[in-house]
Amino acid sequence: MDYQGLLHEVMAEALRGHGRGRVADYIPALAVADPTAFGMAIATVDGEVYGAGDWEQPFSIQSVSKLFSLALALAEGGEQLWQGVGREPSGNPYNSLVQLESESGIPRNPFINAGAIVVTDRLLELTGNAGTAVRDFLRAESRNETLDIDESVAASEALHGHRNAALAHFIASYGNLRNPVDSVLLHYYAHCALAASCRDMALAGLFLARHGIRADGSRLLTRSEAKRVNAVLLTCGTYDAAGQFAFRVGLPGKSGVGGGILAVLPGRGAVCVWSPPLDATGNSVLGVAALDALTTATGWSVF
Ligand code: GLU
């Protein structure tokens, strides 16, 4: 397979849609992202990495971090995580409050903000520092020791994160947080504010393509746990457009409002694409188009 040629073809195809979408502006630190930036990388289970465009430029990974906090919380604490968070698609926006009351403070899934806040709480309890736990995992898997939390993004989240604070307090009122709300939120903002490139993220996502095995050959998740994380990614990983994403792309994936999407090709590799302008559901317009073009050209799918 000529991965390099393929990436260039896919990028050219995706860039035809240029000019659509809007860069996230809910915090000032994200609103300054370059709307013309575009990067894409593929990492294979054989250890090869290919990239196109701005694939080595760090971007704010935002909710893509939720896939790693989930995997680490499962690895450290096991299945009891699922007592505090569900695994059904929400059908509501990622930062919605409405379901929490009728569902007694148990968020629908680990990838909406409410669910990710619960996962961060458990990871904080298990490791003592959820932000650096995710950072250190990404550093190890990408072999990039410079990968770090962008403190200005984390501070901007904390300053403007009234809705996340509301979600966290609401969950706490049902007894579903084990750490103080302020501390959980700081760790949640920290892992969302990690800056990493498409190269780093494709490499970091490979453990799911290897059914739970890390870059150093050790096992993070059992095969069954890795399958389950991939299943939740497919059904809940792209906000309330997960059905549309499965329809167009056919791979488990996680998006973030920084414009990144990480998708997994079980047994074969991982692909990360980044383009900041988002559609109305919060997914990168060109990112989804590029993954659509990639899977259409190659036939890659879990189906
Ligand atoms: N830190 C962002 C928030 O909590 C993450 C949003 C996202 O990427 O979905 O609003």
Q: Which atom of ligand 1 is nearest to the CA of 62?
A: 8
Question: How does pLDDT run across 192-214, given as a tens digit for each residue?
Answer: 999 999 999 999 999 999 999 99
Query: In the predicted model, is pLDDT for residue 222 greater than 90?
Result: yes
Q: Which atom of ligand 1 is nearest to the CA of 27?
A: 10
Q: Quote the ligand 1 centre to 267 CA distance (angstroms).
A: 29
Residue 238 CB less than 6 A away from ligand 1 = no
* Residue 232 domain-assigned (yes or no): yes
Residue 113 CB less than 6 A away from ligand 1 = yes
* Average pLDDT of the segment spanning 251-258: 98
* Residue 233 domain-assigned (yes or no): yes
- CATH number of domain containing 173: 3.40.710.10
Question: How does pLDDT run across 67-114, given as a tens digit for each residue?
Answer: 999 999 999 999 999 999 999 998 887 788 888 988 899 999 999 999
Please report how the helices 181-192 and 65-77 are oriented relative to each other, as an axis angle in degrees rounded to 10.
120
Residue 68 CB less than 6 A away from ligand 1 = no
Domain that holds residue 25: 3-298
Query: Is the overall model pTM greater than 0.85, yes or no?
Result: yes
In DSSP notation, 8-58 reads HHHHHHHHTTTT-SB---SSHHHHTS-TT--EEEEEETTS-EEEEESTTS-
* Residue 62 domain-assigned (yes or no): yes
Query: In the predicted model, is pLDDT for residue 1 greater than 90?
Result: no
Number of domains in the chain: 1
Q: Which atom of ligand 1 is nearest to the CA of 63?
A: 8
For a pocket test of ligand 1, which of 61, 66, 113, 188 has the largest count of ligand atoms closer than 8 A to its C-beta? 113
* Average pLDDT of the segment spanning 219-247: 96
Mean of all residue pLDDT scores within the chain: 96
Q: Quote the ligand 1 centre to 222 CA distance (angstroms).
A: 28
- The span from the CA of 231 to the CA of 300, in Å, is 16
* Residue 175 domain-assigned (yes or no): yes
What is the reported pLDDT for 94?
79
* Average pLDDT of the segment spanning 3-29: 93
Query: In the predicted model, is pLDDT for residue 17 greater than 90?
Result: no
* Residue 144 domain-assigned (yes or no): yes
What is the reported pLDDT for 294?
96
* Average pLDDT of the segment spanning 132-161: 97
Percent of the chain past pLDDT 90, that is, above it, reads 91
* Residue 303 domain-assigned (yes or no): no
Residue 127 CB less than 6 A away from ligand 1 = no
For a pocket test of ligand 1, which of 63, 156, 187 has the largest count of ligand atoms closer than 8 A to its C-beta? 63
* Average pLDDT of the segment spanning 132-158: 97
In DSSP notation, the chain reads --HHHHHHHHHHHHHTTTT-SB---SSHHHHTS-TT--EEEEEETTS-EEEEESTTS-EE-GGGHHHHHHHHHHHHHGGGGGGT---S---S-TT--HHHHHTTT--S-TTSHHHHHHHHHHHHHHHS-HHHHHHHHHHHHHT-TT-EE-HHHHHHHHHH-HHHHHHHHHHHHTT--SS-HHHHHHHHHHHHTEEE-HHHHHHHTHHHHTTTB-TTS-BSS-HHHHHHHHHHHHHHTTGGGHHHHHHHT-S-EEE-TTSEEEEEETTTEEEEEE---B-TTSSBHHHHHHHHHHHHHH-----
Residue 257 CB less than 6 A away from ligand 1 = yes
Q: Which atom of ligand 1 is nearest to the CA of 257?
A: 8
Q: Quote the ligand 1 centre to 117 CA distance (angstroms).
A: 11
Residue 157 CB less than 6 A away from ligand 1 = yes
Q: Which atom of ligand 1 is nearest to the CA of 258?
A: 8
